[in-house]
Chains A and B, each alone.
Chain A
Amino acid sequence: AQSVTQLGSHVSVSEGALVLLRCNYSSSVPPYLFWYVQYPNQGLQLLLKYTSAATLVKGINGFEAEFKKSETSFHLTKPSAHMSDAAEYFCAVRPQGGKLIFGQGTELSVKP
């Protein structure tokens, strides 16, 4: 069965520092991959998705993710964290023809 693993349930960075949120998936066939962000008491908002057109995917709010098939990874990065980036981040995989499978989430804290 497909699965998604997010390393680190909580990540803390200083404002202006690099943000790196890790996501690994299990699949023999590259699935569709997504990153969502959830602010407190809100629904999920799509940050970016992997379409197989390019391995480096740029999303909203300055985030990007790189698909690495050899590592089965889809890590999310942002060069410089902002206070407003503090939220829960979910990596999700959708096997072709299947349902969306979420990782357990990573809570990002940004220190002033």
Chain B
Amino acid sequence: DAMVIQNPRYQVTQFGKPVTLSCSQTLNHNVMYWYQQKSSQAPKLLFHYYDKDFNNEADTPDNFQSRRPNTSFCFLDIRSPGLGDAAMYLCATSGIQGLDTQYFGPGTRLTVL
């Protein structure tokens, strides 16, 4: 089945230790998104790629970076995780039309010790 895959599902890191989260998709979608979701809150968009065109949200901290080496893969790099970065990180993909559905992966739960 076509899907959005996130690895790992659970990630534990130490304060200040860089961490990379991975997302892959078999939907061949042009657009990939990274969201941060804290407990009992709505997902918050960090950035998205339209093909290789990177679009950063204005309030996304510089501590968060992303790479998209090809259509299928996208990575979220957190350069120096703080305690406040502990959250669920959701990857999503969509086509380019406004009505196109965003398909979400299962998420990666990040714990910062």
Contact = CB atoms under 8 A, between A and B. Distances in A.
B10 to A, nearest CB: 9
B102 A51 contact: no
A104 B41 contact: yes
A97 B100 CA distance: 11
Interface in A65-112: 90, 94, 96-100, 102-105, 107
A108 B11 CA distance: 28
Interface in B45-61: 45, 48
B98 A100 contact: no
Contacts of A28: none
Interface stretch (B13-21, B70-78, B79-87, B104-112): B104-112
B42 A90 contact: yes
Given A32-B99, A46-B101, A102 B106 contact: no
B98 A32 contact: yes
Interface residues of B, number: 21
A105 B41 contact: yes
B43 interface: yes
B9 to A, nearest CB: 8
B40 A99 contact: no
B90 A44 contact: yes
B32 interface: no
A34 B101 contact: yes
Nearest to A31: B98
Nearest to B45: A99
B59 to A, nearest CB: 13
B98 A45 contact: no
A61 interface: no
Interface of A: 9, 32, 34, 36, 41-46, 49, 51, 90, 94, 96-100, 102-105, 107
Given A46-B102, A49-B101, A99-B45, 20 more contacts: A9-B40, A32-B99, A41-B106, A42-B106, A42-B107, A43-B90, A43-B105, A43-B106, A43-B107, A44-B43, A44-B92, A46-B101, A96-B98, A97-B98, A99-B48, A100-B45, A100-B102, A102-B43, A105-B41, A105-B42
